[in-house]
Amino acid sequence: MAFQKVVSRHFDVPNAHDIAVYESLGGYQAARKALAMEPGAIIEEVKTSGLRGRGGAGFPAGMKWSFIPKDSPKPKYLVVNSDESEPGTFKDRKLIECDPHSLIEGVIISCFAFGSHQAYIYIRGEFNQQRIHLNDAIQQAYDKGYLGDNVFGTGYTIHLSTHRGAGAYICGEETALLESLEGKKGQPRLKPPFPATHGLFQSPTVVNNVETIATVPWIIANGGAAYAAMGTEKAKGTRLMSVSGHINKPGVYEIEMGMPFKDFLAENLGGVWKGRTLKAVIPGGSSCPILTAEEAMNLTLDPEAIAAIGSMAGSGGMMVIDDQTCMVDLLEDLTHFYAHESCGQCTPCREGTDWLYKIIRRIESGRGTAQDLDDILDIADNMEGKTICALAAAATMPTRSYIKKFRDEFVAHFEHRGCPYKQAKVPAGAGA
């Protein structure tokens, strides 16, 4: 099937955030249809679509729902992860701004599918205007009777509210998010148990990304097979890409899984800015190992292809880097981010992220030695896979890749006793 926009289909429609406009585009028909279906059939349809989580981990959505125990006496919760904080990622923000009702409609269908009556949208604290905007849309849905105690007159109850975070990247990790939603520090939980049985308030819980949930109405309206007909063999459908950095047209783009990067760059992104040359690409958010220009230009944008060259599709946060960028400087900025965002719970991450940052800062400032690179790799080894969540690895994986693929730039810093690019006038994260 030819590519068509799914989750971004209303992005260019003026005022699609208004329920009247949304309904005039066929909005809430999928939810009506779903509430007349067997819940199990909805899950099957989503399984058929091959829809995978769009938050970064890529877990099949339908399968996640089917893990929810049917016989649990506890309430079941849907929690929408709108903590979008991975550097380079801003698609969910755009989605909430342009098409909040597709998210709300997705919530209704998903709740009904696995028997939930209460959903929360955990939205990062910085997205305050988006939260207010989303609250307005939720109120419209309540006013219409699409949310509340008698959804579409079926007698089914679904309550939905937003929950504002307050500035912590780690809350994007689903169990940290649940902790935060419970009024605690956002520190990831030990697993097992998993959220499917012991999630929010120790009850069965599904945590899904905004884009994932917002895709569901289209799947119900058009059928899982129609969605699965797009994309590649293993990566079905479409996805949103947030693209930023040194390109002419930064923004959010929906692409078919498997689109060649070369085409994406030329056709959608308007090429590298200022007529410069491509140096590197971060394919899916700052924690993904970096790709050289050559690797990127031969790449198709689907998780399997990206994994095959040692990186990740992640959250679709693509950053394009031009040839005048100092990779050490960029890595310094990136490691500062992870040091700042480590929750501080596990020893290797708490201590290791800041240690990496300080070493890379030293290299960037011209005081590094070749030994530093060996040390970094060894420290990274002591961090990866040794912690409760993946934040440590999110810092080490890109770090390794920068050193591996741009080692000569690090060496240049040792030799020049400073940064050959002389761009950074302010250290990363000063005053943060």
Considering only residues 77 to 136 of the shown chain, the ones binding another protein according to CB under 8 A are 84-90, 93, 97-98, 120, 124-130, 132-133
CA 430 to chain centre: 26
Count of C-beta atoms within a 10 Å radius of residue 232: 18
Piece in contact with another protein (CB under 8 A), picked from 30-38, 53-61, 210-218, 241-249: 241-249
- What are the angstrom distances between the C-alpha of 171 and each of 82, 164, 182, 289, 297? 10, 11, 12, 22, 33
33: contact with another protein by CB under 8 A: no
144 exposure class (CB count in 10 Å sphere: 0-12, 13-18, 19+): middle
Binding flags for another protein, 368-407, as an x/- string (CB under 8 A): ---x---x---x-xxx-xxxx-------------------
- Distances, alpha carbon 21 to alpha carbons 26, 74, 145, 210, 399, in Å: 9, 37, 17, 21, 46
| Chosen residue from 141, 252, 255, 259 binding another protein by CB under 8 A | 252
- Shortest Å distance, C-beta 146 to another protein: 18
Residues 201-220 within binding reach of another protein (CB under 8 A):
201
Tokens encoding 264? 């994406």
Question: Nearest distance from residue 168's CB to another protein, in Å?
Answer: 5
Residue choice 221, 226, 293, 424 for contact with another protein (CB under 8 A): 424
Q: Single out the residue of 205, 242, 300, 399 in contact with another protein (rule: CB under 8 A).
A: 242
Give whichever of 313 and 360 is closer to another protein, judged by the CB atom.
Answer: 360
Is residue 56 near another protein by the rule CB under 8 A?
no
Question: Could you say whether residue 260 binds another protein (CB under 8 A)?
Answer: no
Q: What share of the chain is helix, strand, coil (3-state, %, to 5)?
A: 45, 15, 40
Contact call for residue 422 and another protein (CB under 8 A): no
Interface with another protein includes 342 (CB under 8 A)?
Answer: yes
Element (H, E) at 301: strand 300-301
Please say which residue, 83 or 302, places its beta carbon nearer to another protein.
83
Inter-CA distances, 154 with 26, 77, 406, Å: 20, 20, 60
162-181 positions binding another protein, by CB under 8 A = 163-169, 180-181
Number of chain residues interacting with another protein (CB under 8 A): 96
Candidate segments 50-58, 141-149, 299-307, 339-347, binder of another protein by CB under 8 A: 339-347
Minimum Å distance from CB 309 to another protein? 20
Nearer to another protein, 223 or 427 (CB): 427
Q: What is the Cα 156 distance to its own chain's centre? A: 31
CB of 259 to another protein, least distance (A): 19
Pair type for strands 278-282 and 238-245: unpaired
Among 337, 406, 410, 421, contact with another protein (rule: CB under 8 A): 337
CB of 410: closest distance to another protein in angstroms? Answer: 17
> Do the bridges between strand 238-245 and strand 251-256 make them parallel or antiparallel, or are there none, so unpaired?
antiparallel
Buried b (16+ CB within 10 A) or exposed e, 17-36: bebeebeeeebbebbbebbe
Other C-beta atoms lying within 10 Å of the C-beta of residue 277 = 10
Shortest distance (Å) from residue 41 CB to another protein: 30
Q: Using the rule CB under 8 A, is 276 a contact of another protein?
A: no
Cβ neighbours for 391, distance < 8 A, ≥ 6 positions apart: 169, 170, 173, 338, 341, 342, 343, 349, 353
Residue 271 makes contact with another protein by CB under 8 A: no
- Positions 279 through 298 that interact with another protein (CB under 8 A): 282, 286
Q: What per-residue string of b and e applies to 404-418 under the rule 16 or more CB within 10 Å gives b?
A: ebbeebbebbbeeee
**Residue that has been written with the tokens 């119900």 in this structure:** 220
Q: How far is the CB of 212 from another protein (least distance, A)?
A: 17
- The pairing of strands 278-282 and 291-292 is antiparallel
